[in-house]
Structure 1
Amino acid sequence: DLNSFQTKIFMEAFNEDHGEDLTPIGDTVIAPLGIYSSDLKDVSEIKENDTIAIPNDVSNEGRALLLLQTAGLIEVDPAKGQVPVVEDVTSNPLNLTLQPLDSSQTARALEDVAASVINSGMAVDAGFIPTEDAIFLEPVTESSDPYVNAIVVRGEDKDNELYNKIVAAYQTDGTKEVIEKTSKGSSIPVWK
């Protein structure tokens, strides 16, 4: 009846692909993407012809490319909005090879690439603390809203009183404390 595993941009793609009307009724957390490296200490150390692994799923490939753009490594076609793909890179001054991989493989790829864009949950599973180990961490701003995880229901249930009580019970200071303690900085509570 409710779920809270998906980002808003993932939900929108799901709705479009499956003709559904899932609707967010409350924000939960955002899990910033990070750029990680086994050898480099700063994103400025990435050099010409390096290979960077990125997640290849619909919502995270574009997000990874936008992160690389924010880090000053590439530029992507602004007309593609939040969902560019590798072919939408318009400037790549270091001639980087961008290697799309299943998101579960981006951390494992670190032995074979100069850097890898890794989802926060995968980074924590690989033993990283995103706020300490990423050489560049995705900034959380107002434009990050598509990447916020949401509590989601079917469209006809968006005003369900019980479901909205569940959202209110979730969005508390106590929940924030648990998230901050258990996620090691991989998830940031974003409700107001």
Structure 2
Amino acid sequence: MSKTKKLVITGVAIIFALSAILIVRSQNGQGNNKNEITVGSIGSDAQIWQYIAKLSETKKAGISIKVKNFTDGVSLNTATAQSKIDVNAFQSYAYLVAYNKSSAKNKLGVLGTTYLEPMGIYSSQYKKISEIPDGATIAIANNAANTARGLRLLEKAGLITLKSSFGSLSGTNEIASNPHHFKFKEIDDTTGPRVIKDNTIAAALIGNTVALEGKLNVLKDSLFHEKIDQSTKDNINVLATAKKNQSNQNYKKLISLYHSKKVQKYIQSKFDGTKLEVKKPVGYLTK
């Protein structure tokens, strides 16, 4: 064999070896700093990320963003945890914790905080909390994270009290006192704006993403809504990714882009101030 052929064969062998290393690194989540990032989102959040994707600042950050719209949070989280979607933007920290507890294998990690989207108590029949009659039926979400969130809001409004053991995934069995003898009906929380038109429902707990889609403004149309404080930190929305990708530097650039002045000005204008910016370290969520 000639010396030239030996060099060619050696070169080819080196290329195959390097390719194998890169494939293994990618499979282990170590070579995942890719420039194109697929962001999965739902409803109004998808609009925000479509706006961010078009910014010159995104290109300057050395990344491109592809937005994929979903209608179901569980399927979006599953796709993210399996790395079929790089990052998702739609859920509260409590919702993420609930998903991780229900998922045997694939777990999610938090990249950073984005905003508090206040949950509100809405009614088409009553104008004040005090007008809701004893024995009335109140609609609450049928998923653990939002059930607990709604019950905390009812307590804040002075309608019920909760047991000291009440947690982020607790339900109506953890109500300590219900002096107004309210009945609770669990609903698909995406149906809230339609449910409040039902005369058998006195009020409904509706998250802001769903409220916006139903042409409701939490600051103007709700009887009572959440504020930013320690009691609502579980409800802060986050950017999530597969646990193994939590340290990905390109993914973390999305947090900086989200909190830029240009993006915050757009969000404030587009959503009538109903998405309250929360710029906190990830550790704040677990304190």
TM-score by length of 2: 0.63
Instruction: Tell me the matched-pair count.
Output: 192
**CA distance in structure 1 between the aligned counterparts of 2:184 and 2:213, rounded to whole angstroms:** 23
2:218 to 130, 147, 164: 130
1:43 equivalent among 129, 151, 170: 129
Aligned equivalents of 1:107 and 1:170: distance in 2?
A: 28
Max Rg structure: 2
Check if 1:184 corresponds to 2:269. no
Shift of the alpha carbon at 1:21?
3.1
163, 167, 170: which one pairs with 1:77?
Answer: 163
2:218 and 2:225 in contact (8 A); partners too: yes
The CA distance in 2 between the partners of 1:6 and 1:117, in whole Å, is 16
In 1, Cα distance between equivalents of 2:227 and 2:124: 22
The residue type equivalent to 2:87 in the other structure is L
CA contact (8 A) 1:24 1:152 kept: yes
Matched, 1:17 2:102: yes
Q: Flag the 1:161–1:104 CA change in 2: closer, same or farther, 3 A.
A: closer
Residue aligned with 1:72, SS: coil
* Structure 1: distance between partners of 2:163 and 2:89: 31
Aligned to 1:53: 139
Question: Of the candidates 94, 110, 118, which is equivalent to residue 180 of structure 2?
Answer: 94
Structure 2 distance, partners of 1:128, 1:10, is: 22
- Aligned counterpart, 1:32: 118
Which position in structure 2 is the counterpart of 1:6?
A: 91
Question: How much has 1:94 moved relative to structure 2?
Answer: 0.6
Q: Is the 8 A contact 2:144 2:170 kept in 1?
A: no
Alpha carbons 2:155, 2:162 under 8 Å: kept: yes
Once the two structures are superposed, what CA deviation does each residue of 1:41-99 show, in whole Å capped at 9, x if it has no partner?
A: 11111121111111111210110011001101011222022222112212010111111
Bigger shift: residues 71-80 or 58-67: 71-80
Conserved 8 A contact 2:118-2:227? yes
Helix, strand or coil for the counterpart of 2:138? strand
Q: Which residue of 1 aligns with 2:55?
A: none
The answer as to 2:233 corresponding to 1:145 is yes
Indicate which of 157, 161, 169 corresponds to 2:245. 157
Q: CA deviation at 1:157?
A: 2.1
* Amino acid aligned to 1:9: A
Distance of aligned partners of 1:98 and 1:90 in 2 relative to their CA distance in 1, 3 Å threshold: same
- The 10-residue stretch of structure 1 (52-61 or 141-150) with the greater mean CA deviation from structure 2: 141-150
Displacement over 3 Å in runs of 4+? none
Task: Decide whether the 8 Å contact of 2:165 with 2:174 is kept in 1.
Answer: no
What one-letter code is carried by the residue in structure 1 that aligns with 2:153?
L
Q: Which residue of 1 aligns with 2:192?
A: 106
Q: Note if contact 1:130-1:184 (Cα within 8 Å) is conserved in structure 2.
A: no
Matched residue of 1:107: which SS?
helix
Report the 3-state secondary structure (helix = DSSP H, G, I; strand = E; otherwise coil) of the residue aligned with 1:6.
strand
Does the CA-based 8 Å contact 1:30-1:149 persist in structure 2? yes
Identity of aligned residues (%): 29
Partner amino acid, structure 2, of 1:47: P
| Native 8 Å contact 1:130 1:185 kept in 2 | no
> Deviation digits for residues 17-51 of structure 1, max 9, x if unmatched?
11333111111122111011112111111121111
Of stretches 31-40 and 107-116 in structure 1, the one that deviates more from structure 2 is 107-116
Distance 1:178 1:142 in 2: 27
